[in-house]
Amino acid sequence: MQDEILDIDQLSRYLRVPKSTLYRLAAEGGIPSHKVGRHWRFRREAVDRWLDQPGSGGDGSKAPSSG
């Protein structure tokens, strides 16, 4: 089975976040991505794994600890 590759518009709709946020995350290495020429590409499977990581605030930062 081949991984589904998303462009920035598709990922923005999929995650329901602004493209500007995704551009920033991609440039900072905060989201799994690949730059092809001037265009960013994202593997849906890698993004899904990234979302499932505990402690990820979605911006690459750790979630605040309780206690």
The CATH number assigned to the domain holding 32 equals 1.10.10
Is 65 within the bounds of a domain? Answer: no
When pLDDT is cut at 50, 70 and 90, the band that residue 66 belongs to is very low
**Residue 57: band (very low, low, confident or very high) from pLDDT cuts 50, 70, 90:** low
In angstroms, rounded to a whole number, what is the distance separating the alpha carbons of residues 48 and 32? 10
Per-residue pLDDT tens over the stretch 18-28: 999 999 999 99
On whether residue 60 sits in a domain, the answer given is no
Residue 35 covered by a domain: yes
Domain enclosing residue 13, as ranges:
5-52
The answer for 24, left when phi > 0, alpha when psi is -120 to 50, beta otherwise, is alpha
Report the number of distinct structural domains present in the chain.
1
> Is 45 part of a structural domain of the chain?
yes
Given a cut of 60, whether residue 59 has pLDDT beyond it is no
